[in-house]
Amino acid sequence: MSQKELGYVELEWTCPVCKTRNPGTQTTCSGCGAAQPDNVQFEAPAAAAIAEDQAKIERAKTGPDIHCGFCGARNSATAKTCRQCGADLTEGKAREAGKVVGAYAPDTGAVVRCTACGMENPATARQCVRCGAPLDKAPVAPAAAPAPAAAGGMGRGTIIFAILAVVVLLGLGWLVFAMFQTSDTVATAVDARWERSIAIMGQVPVQASAWRDEAPANAADLSCRTEVRSTSDSPQPGAREVCGTPYTLDTGTGMGKVVQDCVYEVYDDYCTYTTLQWGVVNTVVQRGDGLAAAWPGANLGAGQQLGQRSEKYVCVVTADDREYTFDLRTDAEFAQCQPGSRWRLSVNALGGVTDAEPVR
Ligand SMILES: [Zn+2]
Ligand SMILES: [Zn+2]
Ligand SMILES: [Zn+2]
């Protein structure tokens, strides 16, 4: 982000005694003659044109004004002694500088009406051009309207939703309870089932996207569009400068520096394409009853290879005329599921086996 200088505008300050708005470069109030205290901040004017007064611009560049340590009068940064009391200004207090005072509001020809005589004055005026009465600050361009607040109170839909939520929660609670509430029983193995599968891997076309210079060499069906790839503070070949809303910084002199943050957007081709990647093209499965589990055979085509293997073993048992099934993780565990073998089961209220141990 680089900061671009657009020029200077005169700020203003409001007299804390009589509320008169005064031009920023003026150090005493035009309404009552009071000096600007060091704690009275400069404000952005309702509307302002970029200043052309070289003296004011030069003053803005010399650095923030200094308030006299004895009488408080505002003096320019270059002054050595106070213009009001003659005191040495090395004891003085420099005004703060660099703070954002607001968005830059160029003069758009807006008007502000004098409340004393009804005269329409330009928004840049601080006193009525006809009667001299102080003018209110013209409204600055309104900020984006805030989103309307959500209507208060609970609607009927909310209540119905709340009731449904309670019912669902109660149901879930019961389910969890039923899953953890278990009873033990001894069962006899009656069957053993197994299923083994192997994934067949091959090159499959997939859609992918990348910057043109990062796309793989085998990319096909390239379709590209121009997008911002990076931003830079300095000009780059083919880059476009993008700047934000101008805003005004306090220089501490009564003048504001109008700046704009800019970046250079660097464009490049972002492409969508088809490329070949290893993927599952088929899965061969073999399943059966009994303990003699076997891997399925696989006929590999050109450019294919075997992928991930998976196995699933299920032991079927009966107890008190009820049939239960449970999974065994390895074929070594599965080998214990001999017909007639005895198993101690933990069974939950839903009939699911939560634990199974062979009875030795
Ligand atoms: Zn005043
Ligand atoms: Zn002084
Ligand atoms: Zn007036």
Query: 1 pLDDT exceeds 90?
Result: no
Contact 253, 8 (CB under 8 A): no
- At 154 the pLDDT is 66
- At 280 the pLDDT is 94
Contact 11, 45 (CB under 8 A): yes
Cβ-Cβ contacts under 8 Å for 287 (sequence gap 6 or more): 193, 194, 195, 196
How far is it, in rounded angstroms, from Cα 95 to Cα 251?
A: 9
- At 16 the pLDDT is 95
Closest CA to 43 of 254, 209, 310: 254
Pick from 57-61, 175-179, 268-272: least confident? 175-179
Over residues 302-313, mean pLDDT: 94
Q: Which residues are close to ligand 2, an ion, with C-beta < 5 A?
A: 68, 70-71, 73, 82, 84-85, 87
Contact 280, 200 (CB under 8 A): yes
> Around 62, how many Cα atoms within 13 Å sit in the side-chain half-sphere?
16
Helix, strand, or coil (residue 168):
helix
pTM of the model: 0.57
User: How far, in Å, is the centroid of ligand 3 from the Cα of 133?
Assistant: 5
Other beta carbons within 10 Å of 95: 21
User: How far, in Å, is the centroid of ligand 3 from the Cα of 109?
Assistant: 18
The bound ligand whose nearest atom lies closest to the alpha carbon of 136 is 3
Closest CA to 277 of 341, 335, 208, 228: 208
Q: Which residues are close to ligand 3, an ion, with C-beta < 5 A?
A: 114, 116-117, 119, 128, 130-131, 133
Over residues 208-223, mean pLDDT: 93
The DSSP H or E segment spanning 171 is helix 156-180
Per-residue model confidence as pLDDT tens digits over 175-215:
888 777 888 999 999 999 999 999 999 999 999 999 999 99
Burial class (CB in 10 A: 0-12, 13-18, 19+), 180: exposed
pLDDT band at 148 (very low <50, low <70, confident <90, very high): very low
- At 140 the pLDDT is 54
- DSSP class of 252: S
User: How far, in Å, is the centroid of ligand 1 from the Cα of 41?
Assistant: 14
Over residues 77-85, mean pLDDT: 93
- At 78 the pLDDT is 92
Per-residue model confidence as pLDDT tens digits over 133-143:
888 887 654 44
- At 153 the pLDDT is 57
Our CA angle for 34, 32, 16, nearest 5°, is 60
The bound ligand whose nearest atom lies closest to the alpha carbon of 35 is 1
The bound ligand whose nearest atom lies closest to the alpha carbon of 73 is 2
**Token pair in block for residue 274:** 């088809």
- At 64 the pLDDT is 96
